[in-house]
Structure 1
Amino acid sequence: MEYLTLAIEDRVAIISINHAPANALSSAIVEELSQAFDQIESNEEVRVVLLHGEGRFFSAGADIKEFTSVKNGKAFVKLAQNGQSVFERIESFPKPVIAAIHGAALGGGLELAMACHIRLVTERAKLGLPELQLGLIPGYAGSQRLPRYVGTAKAAEMLFTSEPITGQQAVQWGLANHAYTDEELLPKAKELAAKIVKKSPLALKSAIELLNYSKGDSYYKGVEKETVLFGEAFDSADAKEGIDAFINKREPVFKGE
């Protein structure tokens, strides 16, 4: 794999995202994540998965430059459906998945983190869904997962303002489990994983299956609708303006078109 490394330590599979400088979540990384989970699922030695980012960030968002190569909204819908499928697999994966988040988890990066069963963060980490700043909306089920963790009102605030929250706030809001210093994050994540690997794999698989029943039919209908609106947003003039403004590091001017 080009952008991910996979190592196994003490029955814990450690997946590291390594796509400098921001670990932007490109379609290639999403595909490699799918491949990595294929390997892990068939490996009986692995009991827990730990996901983190190398360098400065967990993942600072989607690969916006990649968006410029997407031809139209229909292609954008397929991009969303693929990401949703991989992230749904992570959330329903039969082995516990822990995200260790430092630096930033934004946009697609936060959507990936929210698909993990447990999220550990650094106190100063930034977590957010800034897609509306680009004239877009979340496309990897972020619009449906975020309110499940923080409630509708706080999810609305995060989406409407595009402003991230800190790791400490994420814990207070229910988006993350625990916040640590930068130095503590990975050791604490491995410590938690070590506790989990002692549990029965069959019981863990059953617990994960039961937790996923909490999502319900409306969740999946919302996810399906998200892909449709994701494609419509991409075809809009506002999205073109937002993406161009991001690439050229200027403030976008949206006209509602």
Structure 2
Amino acid sequence: MINTTVDGDGIAEVVMDNPPVNALPVAGWYGLADALNALGANAAVRVVVLRAEGRGFNAGVDIKELQAATDFGALVEVNRGCAAAFAAVYDCPVPVISAVHGFCLGGGIGLVGNSDIIVASDDATFGLPEVDRGALGAATHLSRLVPQHRMRAMMYTSATATAAELHAYGSVLTVVPRAELRDAALAVAREIAAKDPTVIRAAKASLNGIDPWDVKRSYRYEQGFTFELNLSGVADRVRDEFGRP
């Protein structure tokens, strides 16, 4: 589900591979967090590339796992797992480059929004369809990708933004054909890996230290509304209505 490698230059790759759409279950989110934390603790690692195999980068949480649960335990754990994975990207002591193709939805936005650098293929789209699922969350991270009013419109309508739009906003570094995505991400990674690793780790820590956005506290606040919607039964009703033909 989560595969990691580290090459001789200190470039680590973390690859999500959970067909059919890379929607991660509870174990997947925690596994991703563990993988990123382990790489960050490895002094030989200089930069991380986060990417995926399959149809798209990430489709968020595994809704089927939540629907099969008999209580709210899975909901609590998947929210904790998402928070852990998002934090692992943000807190990773070295820069994290997200290489995004296809769809990047829900939890995928949390990962990408907390990344240091984003490279995307020309077929990539980004969005938060949460309101159609009776949930909320990751507006914190979408706010780091698009301007405030665009973010609000995307949240209310479940609209998506293209890689080209995000490139115009400055949040996506470069847009390339899908076949060139991994190479493009690795090219940026190699440039970073060639720098002094102590300086790069200090740069990451300093940039997080001056960040005006407390992403962990902000996301935790959002999660509270998701729990309210589920406890009140509204989330189940919305999901049922959305799934009707």
Q: Give the TM-score of the pair, scaled to structure 1.
A: 0.86
1:70 & 1:175 partners in 2: Cα distance? 37
Match runs of 1:134-149 below 5 Å: 134-138=133-137, 142-149=138-145
Secondary structure of residue in 2 paired with 1:150: coil
Between the aligned partners of 2:70 and 2:77, the Cα distance in structure 1 is 11
**2:228 maps to 1:229:** no
Give 1:17 shift: 0.7
Q: CA deviation at 1:134?
A: 1.0
Change in 2 beyond 3 A, CA 1:223/1:35: closer
CA contact (8 A) 1:77 1:230 kept: no
- Which range moved further: 80-89 or 43-52? 80-89
CA distance in 1, matches of 2:184, 2:33: 26
Residue 202 (1) aligns with residue 198 (2):
yes
Q: Distance in 1 between matches of 2:19 and 2:77?
A: 26
- Aligned AA for 2:199? A
Secondary structure (helix, strand or coil) at the match of 2:119 reads strand
The residue number in structure 1 matching 2:97 is 98
Q: 1:43–1:26: structure 2 CA closer, same or farther, 3 Å change rule? A: same
Q: Which position in structure 2 is the counterpart of 1:24?
A: 23
Which amino acid is 1:51 matched to?
L
Q: Kindly tell me: are residues 180 and 155 of structure 1, through their superposed partners in 2, closer, same or farther at Cα, counting changes over 3 Å?
A: same
The yes-or-no answer on 1:152 pairing with 2:148 is: yes
* Aligned twin of 1:8: 6
1:178: how far off?
1.3
**What residue ranges of structure 1 are gaps of 5+ in the alignment?**
252-257
- Structure 2: which 5+ runs fail to align? none
- Local SS of the residue matching 1:165: strand
How many Å apart are 1:224 and its aligned residue?
A: 2.9
Q: Distance in 2 between matches of 1:174 and 1:217?
A: 17
**2:114 matched residue in structure 1:** 115
- 1: distance between equivalents of 2:221 and 2:154? 20
Conserved 8 A contact 1:134-1:241: no
Give, in angstroms, the shift of residue 209 of structure 1: 1.5
Query: Whole-Å Cα distance in 2 between the matches of residues 19 and 218 of structure 1?
Result: 30
Residue 6 of structure 2: SS of its match in structure 1? strand
Q: How many Å separate the matches in 2 of 1:100 and 1:13?
A: 13
The match for 1:162 among 158, 161, 171 is 158
What are the Cα deviations for residues 79-137 of structure 1, in whole angstroms up to 9, with x where unaligned?
32342133123112111111100011101112112121111111121110110111211
DSSP 3-state at the match of 1:31: helix
Verify: 1:250 aligned to 2:235, yes or no.
no
Name the CA shift for 1:50/1:219 in 2 (closer, same or farther; >3 Å).
closer
Aligned twin of 1:60: 59
**1:173 paired residue number:** 169
1: CA distance, partners of 2:80 / 2:154: 23
**TM-align CA RMSD:** 2.1
Distance 1:177 1:71, change over 3 A: farther
8 A contact 1:105–1:125 mirrored in 2: yes
For residues 242 and 39 of structure 1, do their structure 2 counterparts lie closer, same or farther at Cα, with a shift above 3 Å needed?
Answer: same
Cα pair 1:149 1:175 within 8 Å, conserved: yes
* Structure 1 position 64, deviation (Å): 0.9
The equivalences for 1:33-52 within 5 A come to 33-52=32-51
Partner SS state of residue 89, structure 2: helix
What is the deviation of 1:13? 0.8
